[in-house]
């Protein structure tokens, strides 16, 4: 469904809701003047188990919309990567957009950019999945190494989002997309791609992020000092600046 909210961090619906697909919710804070001026819009896709609250601080700075998908804010059956990509594309507006993915949603964002010319720019925040993390033991160890660097104030917020999405949908999403070769897809994405990682993020290590940026024909890597994995929540000013740079380059 598509719902408008009066505040980027609120769940209270204040406008009409449509139903373009049964599995997608987009909460929009983007104004009509921007659409009329044909400025690329901003659509953010939360990471594994997260929802629109994960980007609330970021959207206070840049506006935009949030696409909520199964396993990424929706407690619903998770389809294949192709199906998730189709659901995202069905929810996008008709005008050009910059897609901002976080963590595992980056794989859906890249697949959408590969397929649809409406996507004119991509920002990937802590993109996964590094093939070395497909073993549960390795994933768990890297998660712990990353979590100790995250500010503890955000733990209740993250937990609330995980509970909303549910462990079944989160596990299903991991199984559906973890094996995708996002690096190979990036070779076929012609638009500007900015790969962003915190320098304390073991879930998206430097060599993996650099590899992804190098695969994209117009890719570049930005590393945020003293940041870990949850950069939309913990470093909204830095991420907002990078998104604005992409928009400025497209204008």
CATH at residue 20: 3.40.50.1820
Total structural domains within the chain: 1
Q: Is there a cis peptide before residue 217, judged by omega within 30 degrees of 0?
A: no
**pLDDT reported for residue 36:** 45
Residue 36 domain-assigned (yes or no): yes
Residue 157, CA distances (Å) to 53, 68, 113, 141, 239 in order:
8, 17, 29, 22, 19
pTM score of the predicted model: 0.88
11: its two tokens: 């769940």
Q: Which of 198, 179, 206, 196 is nearest to 243 (CA)?
A: 196
Query: Is position 169 within any domain?
Result: yes
pLDDT the model gives residue 133: 86
- Two tokens at 137? 């033991």
Q: Do the domain assignments include residue 116?
A: yes
Residue 239 domain-assigned?
yes
Q: Is 250 within the bounds of a domain?
A: no
Q: How far is it, in rounded angstroms, from Cα 110 to Cα 117? A: 12
pLDDT at res. 213: 98
User: Are 72 and 48 a contacting pair, CB within 8 Å?
Assistant: yes
- pLDDT mean for each 10 residues of the chain (251 residues): 37 33 55 58 97 96 96 96 97 95 97 98 95 86 93 94 97 93 97 98 97 98 97 97 96 85
208 within some domain: yes
**251 lies in some domain:** no
Determine the pLDDT at residue 39: 77
Segments forming the whole domain that contains residue 41: 2-244
Whether residue 196 lies inside any domain: the answer is: yes
8-state DSSP, 13: B
Q: Is residue 74 packed enough to be buried (19+ CB in 10 Å), middle (13-18) or exposed (0-12)?
A: buried
């Amino acid at each position: 469904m598509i719902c408008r909210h009066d505040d980027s961090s609120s769940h209270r619906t204040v406008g009409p809701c449509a139903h373009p697909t049964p599995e997608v919710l987009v909460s929009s804070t983007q104004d009509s003047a921007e659409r009329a001026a044909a400025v690329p819009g901003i659509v953010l896709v939360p990471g594994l188990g997260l929802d629109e609250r994960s980007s609330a601080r970021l959207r206070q700075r840049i506006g935009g919309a949030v696409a909520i998908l199964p396993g990424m804010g929706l407690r619903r059956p998770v389809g294949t990567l192709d199906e998730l990509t189709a659901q995202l594309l069905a929810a996008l507006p008709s005008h050009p957009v910059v897609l901002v993915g976080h963590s595992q949603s980056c794989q859906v964002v890249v697949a959408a950019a590969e397929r649809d010319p409406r996507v004119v720019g991509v920002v990937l925040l802590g993109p996964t999945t590094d093939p070395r993390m497909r073993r549960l033991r390795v994933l768990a160890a890297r998660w712990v190494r990353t979590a100790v660097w995250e500010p503890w104030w955000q733990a209740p917020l993250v937990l609330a989002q995980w509970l909303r999405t549910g462990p079944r949908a989160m596990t299903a999403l991991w199984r559906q997309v973890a094996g995708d070769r996002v690096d190979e897809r990036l070779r076929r994405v012609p638009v500007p791609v900015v790969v962003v990682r915190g320098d304390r993020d073991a879930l998206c290590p430097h060599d993996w992020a650099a590899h992804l940026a190098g695969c994209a024909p117009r890719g570049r890597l930005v590393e945020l000092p003293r940041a870990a994995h949850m950069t939309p929540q913990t470093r909204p000013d830095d991420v907002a600046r990078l998104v604005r740079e992409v928009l400025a380059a497209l204008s």
